[in-house]
Amino acid sequence: MGSPYILLGSEPNADNQPLGSLPAAKGYAILRGMMAIGSDHAGFQLKNELKKYLDEHSIEYVDVGCPDEQSCDYPDIARAVAAGVSTGQYERGILICGSGIGMSIAANRFPKVRAALCVDENMARVSRQHNDSNILVLGSRFTPTNTACTILAAWMSTGFDGGRHLRRVLKIDGGEN
């Protein structure tokens, strides 16, 4: 695995050309800290495929579980990722369960967590551009591996647009009424 400071497509070099192997996107897309990834038993296989993708792109991560396909409780995994993102231990996270719904509900209970259940790359981009989502949630029963990798690439390479969206995100996080 590579450096915890990874350029992911939208930062220009001296010739104003995008860096990184992922597609360029508006805004910033630099991962400065560690990422966490976790799944329940239903998402275990997709999680392992996404880990291969992260490894291929030299993106550092911590796998918080589950360790196999034995039945486990998704709120425990969501808590491990979301608490870490909430406290700043992890910059971003990825959660996978059967539908993605349970993980989304559980993760969004934590302060400053903006978990987005995305079913295509457009949703992933908008979740970053407008909502500054910091946890990507996927439903393994509804998302083929190739689609999940496309969603992940879009989410990782897209930055937050700020502007009017910043005011709204601050309201979500309780920083502005």
CA distance 87 to 33: 12
Strands (E), the chain: 6-7, 30-31, 35-39, 61-63, 92-97, 115-117, 135-139
CA distance 84 to 70: 24
Task: Examine the residue annotation and report whether 57 is marked as an active-site residue of this protein.
Answer: no
Instruction: Read off φ and ψ for residue 94, nearest 5 degrees.
Output: -130, 130
Task: Examine the residue annotation and report whether 118 is marked as an active-site residue of this protein.
Answer: no
Structure tokens at 80: 């491990």
Please tell me whether residue 156 adopts helix, strand or coil conformation.
helix
CA distance 105 to 112: 14
Catalytic residue among 66, 97, 118, 149: 97
The total of other beta-carbon atoms located within 10 Å of residue 116's CB is 22
The total of other beta-carbon atoms located within 10 Å of residue 152's CB is 23
Catalytic residue among 57, 72, 130, 165: 130
Which of the residues are catalytic?
Answer: 97, 130
